[in-house]
Amino acid sequence: MSKNNPWDQIKNPTGDYHVRQILSKGRTPIFWGKDEAGRCLFIVELDGDHSDYYKANTTSVKGIDIDLRQSTGKAKQRLIIALEKHVDTDLFLGLCNTLVSSLEPAQTSEESLGIALTHIKRWKAFFTGQRMRLLSAEEVRGLFAELQFLRLLYQKKFPQDLAIEAWCGPDGSHQDFIYENTAVEIKSLSGHERSSIRISSEDQLETQCDNLYLATFRLISQNTEGALSLNGVVKQIFDELTASEAIETFSAKLAAAGYIELLEYDSPRFQIVNNQPYQLSEGFPRLIRSDLPEGIVRVGYEIKLENITDFKCKMESLF
């Protein structure tokens, strides 16, 4: 359990629940709490009666209990989010801290409730996945690069919903994007010095599509104007999406990729130095399942970029 766990400072009540108010810049009162069963609570206090809106917009989440209760005083209600035993406490704390930050700009109780329920819906997709943990630094860079290519795809070729459907990496596909008769594998490179890319399996550079590309995005970490964090590029895409179905599908794919908005993903911030695609035509150096000697499995290897310069192509070729 985290050394900064706020629930450690709250004693178990003999009935109902005990609370401790969270210091926040926002107008909405929010609290850490603990109930008589010892469950960790996150509480949002609301002015007025929001029962109808809550019933129309609430959702169930595995491992979390959500309730709207009348508070002290007839004109107040409390949204209570309770952690069940089988969900990780540190992860729940990270989700709650992110929600605290998201609630700060809210000016009304209606806005606060809407923000909270939107976050909870995203939690549901995350908790139904298999990767309930923080992404590694390498996974953060890789997902950042995939999302940058996704933006290019709906800006240059497809409607938003079709572009998001083409993002197949989170669904377990061997390539990150598959559309029409084209497959694209995305790789991120960190800094200026790295000169090779890691291929994780014998299936990653083999496809049934006629066209297969490898697209590299070189990223540097810096806090300059225009640099974005993983949270930043996710927000950018949500702001650009207009169709409700595209937003819903994008949220589900983010969850399948192991992402949920957490303050930890506010840094590092990345700048794209360059992107470079390669066409995997005859002679491209690769190990593929159909050519492996019998008995060889689970192949991983690296490709030096200096040895594939003849296969460079323009990004427009992919669109």
pLDDT digits (tens, 9 = 90+) for 173-182: 999 999 999 9
Spatial distance between the Cα atoms of 316 and 211, rounded to a whole number of angstroms: 14
pLDDT digits (tens, 9 = 90+) for 221-247: 988 888 999 999 999 999 999 988 899
pLDDT digits (tens, 9 = 90+) for 51-102: 999 999 999 998 899 999 987 766 899 999 999 876 678 889 999 999 999 9
- Higher pLDDT: 228 or 126? It is 228
Q: What is the pLDDT of residue 1?
A: 42
Question: What percent of the chain has pLDDT above 70?
Answer: 96
Q: pTM score, two decimals?
A: 0.86
Q: Name the class of domain 6-127.
A: alpha beta
Residue ranges covered by each domain of the chain: 6-127, 137-318
Residue 130: pLDDT band (50, 70, 90) is low
pLDDT digits (tens, 9 = 90+) for 191-222: 766 789 999 999 999 999 999 999 999 999 98
Mean pLDDT, residues 272-300: 93
Q: What is the pLDDT of residue 13?
A: 86
pLDDT beyond 50 at 15: yes
